[in-house]
Chains A and B, each alone.
Chain A
Amino acid sequence: MMDFLNYVLNGILLGEVYALLSLGFVVIYRASKVFNFAQGELMLLGAYTVWTLSLGANLPPVLVVPVAFAAALAYGWLIERLFFRRLVGESVFSMVMVTIGLVILIRGVVLVIWGAADRQFPALLPTAPIILGDLLLPTSMVIGAAFTVVLTAGLWYFFNRTRFGLTLTAVAEDPYTAISAGIAVKRAVTLAWMLGACIATVGAMVLLNGRSLSVLSADVALAALPVALLAGLESIGGLLLAGAIVGVIQSLVAAYVDPRIGGSASSIVPFVFMLFILVVRPTGLFGWRHIERV
Chain B
Amino acid sequence: MDASGVFFKSHSRDRALVRTTPQAVALLVFLGALVLFPTWVNERWISLGYAMFITAIAVIGLQICTGYAGQVNLGQSAFMGVGAYACALLLHVPGMPLLLALLLGGLFAAVFGVLFGLTAARIKGFYLALTTIAAQAIFHFLVLNLPSEWLGGAGGLHLESLQFMGMDIGSDRSLYWLSLGVTVVMTAGAFGIVRSRHGRSFQAVRDDDVAAGMMGIGVAATKVRAFLVAAFFAGVAGGLWAIALRHVSVEQFTLFNSIWMIAMMIVGGLGSIVGALIGTFFIQMAREGVVSLGPQLVELVPSAGQDIVFAGMNVLLGTVIVLFLLFEPKGLMHRVAIAKRSYRLWPFPH
Contact = CB atoms under 8 A, between A and B. Distances in A.
A109 interface: yes
Interface in B279-331: 307-308, 311-312, 314-319, 321-322, 325-326, 329
Contacts of B131: 229, 274-275, 278
B162 interface: no
Given A90-B329, A275-B119, A292-B210, A83 B322 contact: yes
Interface in B116-166: 119, 122-124, 126-127, 129-131, 133-134, 137-138, 140-141, 144-145
Nearest to A37: B259
A115 interface: yes
A190 to B, nearest CB: 17
Interface string A72-99: 0000000000010011001101101110
A279 to B, nearest CB: 5
A5 interface: no
B311 A111 contact: yes
B33 interface: no
B262 interface: yes
Given A278-B122, A278-B123, A105 B311 contact: no
Given A98-B322, A100-B262, A282 B315 contact: no
B307 A268 contact: no
A268 B138 contact: yes
Q: Is the interface of B mostly helix, strand, loop or mixed?
A: helix
A59 interface: no
Interface stretch (A11-19, A49-57, A130-138, A259-267): A259-267
Interface string B228-266: 000000000000000000000000000100010011001
A91 B127 contact: no
Interface in A91-138: 91, 93-94, 96-98, 100-109, 111-112, 115-116
A268 B144 CA distance: 12
A178 interface: no
Nearest to B140: A268
Contacts of B126: 29, 35, 96, 233
Interface residues of A, number: 49
Contacts of B211: 294
Contact of B123 (A105, A267, A279): A279
A293 B129 CA distance: 22
A279 B127 contact: no
B325 A294 contact: no
Q: Is the interface of A mostly helix, strand, loop or mixed?
A: helix
A109 B322 CA distance: 14
A108 B262 contact: no
Contacts of A233: 126-127
Contacts of A6: none
A147 interface: no
Contact of A104 (B141, B145, B321): B321
Contacts of A109: 315
B144 A229 contact: no
A102 B312 contact: no
Interface residues of B, number: 43
A222 B69 CA distance: 26
Nearest to B122: A282
A216 interface: no
A63 interface: no
A271 B131 CA distance: 8
B307 to A, nearest CB: 7
A102 B214 CA distance: 39
A103 B322 contact: no
A101 B318 contact: yes
A274 B132 CA distance: 12
A282 B128 CA distance: 9
A123 B115 CA distance: 45
A225 interface: yes
Nearest to B126: A35
Nearest to B327: A86
Interface string B199-221: 00000000010110010000000
Given A35-B126, A101-B318, A294-B211, A278 B138 contact: no
A104 B312 CA distance: 11
Interface string B68-91: 000010000000000000000000
A86 B326 contact: yes
B258 to A, nearest CB: 10
A255 interface: no
Given A94-B329, A265-B141, 11 more contacts: A35-B130, A93-B270, A96-B129, A111-B314, A112-B312, A225-B130, A229-B127, A265-B145, A268-B138, A272-B134, A293-B210
Interface of A: 29, 35, 83, 86-87, 90-91, 93-94, 96-98, 100-109, 111-112, 115-116, 222, 225, 229, 233, 261, 263-265, 267-268, 271-272, 274-275, 278-279, 282-284, 287, 292-294
Interface of B: 72, 119, 122-124, 126-127, 129-131, 133-134, 137-138, 140-141, 144-145, 208, 210-211, 214, 255, 259, 262-263, 266, 270, 307-308, 311-312, 314-319, 321-322, 325-326, 329
9 contacts: A83-B322, A90-B329, A104-B314, A108-B311, A108-B318, A116-B311, A265-B141, A274-B134, A294-B211
